[in-house]
Amino acid sequence: MLRSASSRQSRIVLNLDLWGPFDSRLARAERVLGVVKDGVAGVKLNHHLLLPYGLRGIGGILEVCHAEELPLIADLKVNDIESTNLNIVDSLFAFGFDAVIVNPFVGREEGLGGVLDQVHLKGGGVIFLVYMSHKGASEGYDLRLENGEPLYRVFAERAREWGADGVVVSAKSVDRIRETREIVGKNCLIFSPGVGAQGGDATAGLAAGADFMLVGRTITESQDPAKALAGLRK
């Protein structure tokens, strides 16, 4: 991811999460990727494309990312028992994904421990969900344990202790980004969603310690995605 960011001079990861009719959604996603691929550091896909089309159905997007050496992140927020989690990552990495976003709430033993081991053996990355960008995020991630520590800090500590490669922290919560950076150290990437359509500020997020901005609608719903991306990069 860092190599891609350096070669493309970009800190933007494209959230290729499109809405709309199923008979045109995939084609729209492929068009957007085609015009912005030289200016993004990586691509993130979630259920918007994976559910209706499946891993085989998004083959065109996978091929472009591989040909362009664009890191590809699966945003499934994996959160199940280990056997199911392992099946998920087996499928994703067999089709060429480079990293997967998981929910550390599920725990390590018979949860994420085997996922971390298996993904790292494949040379891939595991990204922990630490703080989301929607309005209700505080209702969950700010919950406090009996000792008073908020849940998002626990998740950041798990990322450091369990050897996660990255974390997701909302760009709308610059204080949380700053705290998370202090906890995870220098060798864990911070990916921040919530820029643009949700009101987050990319400059503030990067200044607080984020490495990459996860940006979707500002680019994908623009009449000119390449121009929208250029504005963000500037």
| DSSP letter assigned to residue 95 | T
CATH class of the domain at 2-233: alpha beta
- Please give the pLDDT value at position 191: 97
Token code pair at residue 206: 């990067």
Question: Domain coordinates of the chain in residue numbers?
Answer: 2-233
Catalytic residue annotation: 77
Give dist(CA 222, CA 209) in Å, integer. Answer: 28
Q: Quick check: 220 pLDDT over 90?
A: yes
Give, for 35, the enclosing helix (H) or strand (E): helix 22-36
pLDDT, tens digit, 9 for 90 and up, residues 12-58: 999 999 989 999 999 999 999 999 999 999 999 999 999 999 999 99
pLDDT, tens digit, 9 for 90 and up, residues 85-116: 999 999 999 999 999 999 999 999 999 999 99
Residue 209 neighbours by CB distance under 10 Å: 18
Using alpha carbons only, what angle is made at residue 50 by residues 47 and 56, rounded to the nearest 5 degrees? 175
The residue whose two tokens read 């503030």 is: 204
Token code pair at residue 37: 């691929």
Give, for 59, the enclosing helix (H) or strand (E): helix 59-68
- Please give the pLDDT value at position 215: 94
Report the amino acid identity of residue 143: L
- Please give the pLDDT value at position 197: 65
pLDDT, tens digit, 9 for 90 and up, residues 138-166: 888 878 989 999 999 999 999 999 999 99
137 versus 37: the higher-pLDDT residue is: 37
Token code pair at residue 70: 């664009």
pLDDT, tens digit, 9 for 90 and up, residues 48-86: 999 999 999 999 999 999 999 999 999 999 999 999 999
pTM, rounded to two decimals: 0.95
